Structure 1
Amino acid sequence: MENKILHIDMDAFFASVEQLDNPALRGKPVIVGGASERGVVSTCSYEARKFGVHSAMPIFMAKEKCPNGIFVPGRYGRYTKVSQEIFKIFNEVTPLVEQVSIDEGFLDISQGKFNDGMEAARYIKNKVFREVGLTLSIGISYNKFLAKLASDWNKPNGIKEINKEMLPDILFPLPISKIHGLGKVSVAKLNNIGIYYVKDLYNMPKDFYIDCFGKNGIDIYNRIRGIDNRKVETLHERKSVGKETTLKFDTRNKEELAEYLKEFSFEIEEILRRKNVVGKTITLKFKTKNFENHTRSKTLNYYIGNNSEIFNVAKELLEDEELNEEVRLIGISISSFKETEMEQISLI
């Protein structure tokens, strides 16, 4: 069996949950985000995306682009419950599930009830839609890079399979921004020397990759040749769980940055709860517009796993910072894990 890895991404997850719970919102431009003008868009429906609205866009800008948009505050507790229902279905298929975020995960089906990636994907799509009422997109391949690439191919509600026989031709027409590991700066750098598509980059010698990207150069070289040896990792194999994002617009506004931390806290709580662990070290990470990385950590003398506790520590770390430069990336993580005590079930 060649295809063992599935990458699953829910379609406009938060907005889709809002449309599921309120049928009056279906087919309309729904925008989920912060309540204030300084907030940011968490996600939006595909109807809103037609107007140019996207995740991480400031709310005031989303209102300019989509004046008829329906703005709703995030209900992260509800999204967490729906996510748990969905990941429960994933875990029925295979024990090897890596939850990347509240609405995204990798599955290794080499252990599980299915012998074929397409069969597993159809089962998951049908069961999630039947039992939860939402659609998702699935990529199937023999490694994580290609599976994630495939899941974005036919969104929304799509399935795409990439096998070895398709390479490298299927990658050649893609813009280099599709390559995992290439950020905005690297893409701009390559564009400036006439490299826009994977085919352009593919033809460069191996030394070029090392000169451009340092130690990550070989990873980039291998990925566009269909080589990615990263494993699907369950939480117990990971030293930390975190979430970060590169902002569409650099900012020093702590209220805006805190909105991201709040959203990340809900996602992290959901992962911890599903894996039955808690942690006690919270790390704030941010990168300034000059690409200087900063991390600040706080280790508690007790373990936490609740979103509000995680957020409060992260916000405290943020408030203690003097942001002399605008921030272009923000993230938090939790580490120093221990398993939580399982509630004993009475047999009487």
Structure 2
Amino acid sequence: MPSNPVPPPRKILHVDMDAFYASVEQRDDPALRGQPVVVAWRGARSVVCAASYEARKFGVRSAMPAVRAERLCPQAVFVPPDFLRYKAVSRQVREIFARHTELIEPLSLDEAYLDVTASGLPTATETAEAIRAAIFEETRLTASAGVAPNKFLAKIASDWRKPDGIFVIRPHQVAAFLEPLPVGRLPGVGKVMEAKLAELDITRVADLRACGLPALEQRFGRWGRRLHELSLGIDDSPVRSERPTLQISSEDTFEHDLPLEELEPHIRRLAEKTWAGYMLEQGRREQGRIARTVVLKLKTADFRLLTRSLTPGTPPASLRDLGDIACELRTRVELPASTRYRLVGVGLAGFIDADRHIAQSDLFPTP
């Protein structure tokens, strides 16, 4: 009997746009080039969405409070985010990915995994270079790429020669590459786990590997087995092609807490952003998907999170419908009138395929 053929080693790319939002702003406004650009709204509660490499030299990072970024870099140029523009560029980049493989797993607007095992080009490295060249030619933006036998190694590699770089980890290089890395570079090892491992004198991947599977399992259970696998460079998780959208939403944190009756203009403003994202989602697919449920999200001044939702008989068909339903959902909030709110969000959920919605409408017509 012939033996089962051994599948070829996987060839995984992680492609990550460089300082994406800030780079788009610098591309579109020549006056911003070479300047420390911070993409964020100003305000005590705003956070940094992105920072150019010029701003990063001063310690400015994504998710940092905007007021801290301003202290670190007083000369920074603050630019409010324009997510519709960023999504449009992201679609261009995804179209480039699709020329090389159907196996694309987006992680966000600016990064994705690609399985190019069956790519038409001779090597994964050549595929990555072709993708990066096309991105620059068609968007005038740069991207960095990691090439490796699996997802977690590819993601680490893409950060190795940023910006505008590529780093390749070949199968026979995995063990030597991982050994000197701090354990915090492994996926799922955050500050808390890093501290727990440090208590065991485990600070590098080589220490983790030397600890052995039995000791790690005894201390951390199933997670211990996963740590052992990662220390050996084992990650069999597949690249999952883009999954159907489950929800599209926009939210905002206020500079000052507001009562419920003052939220309408903010709800309608966020409804505009959500509706724009919904239109993009419908246009991106050959057969659109219909959102049936409107969601209102609220967070009180004392951080209590509330959600209210409604699935009307007829799905919202316009921005006005979305805004009206979201505002009406405030009547379902049963907290005292004195309650103040620090955050509001508007979302669309309950997605189904358009053809399925049409079939249901034919079976159960609206009276």
TM-score by length of 1: 0.75
Question: Could you tell me how far apart the structure 2 residues matched to 1:321 and 1:190 are?
Answer: 46
Q: Secondary structure at the match of 1:61?
A: helix
Q: 1:300 aligns with which of 311, 314, 320?
A: 311
Alpha-carbon shift at residue 206 of structure 1 (Å): 1.2
Question: Could you tell me how far apart the structure 2 residues matched to 1:185 and 1:174 are?
Answer: 18
* Residue aligning to 2:146: 139
Question: Could you tell me how far apart the structure 2 residues matched to 1:226 and 1:306 are?
Answer: 49
What is the RMSD of the two structures over their aligned residues, measured on CA atoms?
A: 3.9
Alpha-carbon shift at residue 168 of structure 1 (Å): 1.1
Q: Which has the higher contact order (CA 8 A, sep 6+)?
A: 1
* Residue aligning to 1:231: 238
Identity, in percent, stands at 37
* Residue aligning to 1:338: 352
Q: Secondary structure at the match of 2:163?
A: coil
**Runs (5+) with no aligned partner, structure 1:** 244-252, 286-293, 323-330, 342-348
Question: Could you tell me how far apart the structure 2 residues matched to 1:196 and 1:173 are?
Answer: 9
Q: Secondary structure at the match of 1:145?
A: helix
Deviations for 1:250-285, whole angstroms, at most 9, x for unmatched residues? xxx9538x9xx99x9799866776455455578999
> CA 1:149–1:34 in 2, change beyond 3 Å: closer, same or farther?
same
Deviations for 1:51-75, whole angstroms, at most 9, x for unmatched residues? 1110000011000100111111001
Give the aligned residue type for 1:338.
Answer: I
Say whether 1:120 aligns with 2:127. Answer: yes
Work out the number of aligned pairs and report it: 309
Question: Could you tell me how far apart the structure 1 residues matched to 2:61 and 2:316 are?
Answer: 32
Question: Could you tell me how far apart the structure 1 residues matched to 2:32 and 2:85 are?
Answer: 17
* Residue aligning to 2:24: 17
Q: Secondary structure at the match of 1:338?
A: strand
Q: 2:162 aligns with which of 155, 165, 189?
A: 155
Matches within 5 A, 1:203-242: 203-236=210-243, 240=246
> CA 1:5–1:45 in 2, change beyond 3 Å: closer, same or farther?
same
Question: Could you tell me how far apart the structure 1 residues matched to 2:24 and 2:181 are?
Answer: 31
Question: Could you tell me how far apart the structure 2 residues matched to 1:240 and 1:28 are?
Answer: 38
Alpha-carbon shift at residue 27 of structure 1 (Å): 1.4
Alpha-carbon shift at residue 33 of structure 1 (Å): 0.9
Say whether 1:33 aligns with 2:40. Answer: yes
Residues 84 and 276, structure 2, Cα contact 8 Å, conserved in 1: no
Alpha-carbon shift at residue 112 of structure 1 (Å): 4.0
Q: 1:130 aligns with which of 123, 137, 142?
A: 137
Q: Secondary structure at the match of 2:176?
A: coil
Of 107-116 and 81-90, more deviation after overlay is shown by: 107-116
Say whether 1:6 aligns with 2:13. Answer: yes
* Residue aligning to 1:102: 109
**Runs (5+) with no aligned partner, structure 2:** 1-7, 256-265, 298-304, 336-344, 356-367
Alpha-carbon shift at residue 216 of structure 1 (Å): 2.8
* Residue aligning to 1:88: 95
Rg bigger for which structure? 2
Residues 99 and 271, structure 1, Cα contact 8 Å, conserved in 2: no
Alpha-carbon shift at residue 24 of structure 1 (Å): 1.5
Residues 95 and 112, structure 1, Cα contact 8 Å, conserved in 2: no
Question: Could you tell me how far apart the structure 2 residues matched to 1:105 and 1:307 are?
Answer: 30
> CA 1:88–1:13 in 2, change beyond 3 Å: closer, same or farther?
same
Residues 102 and 267, structure 1, Cα contact 8 Å, conserved in 2: no
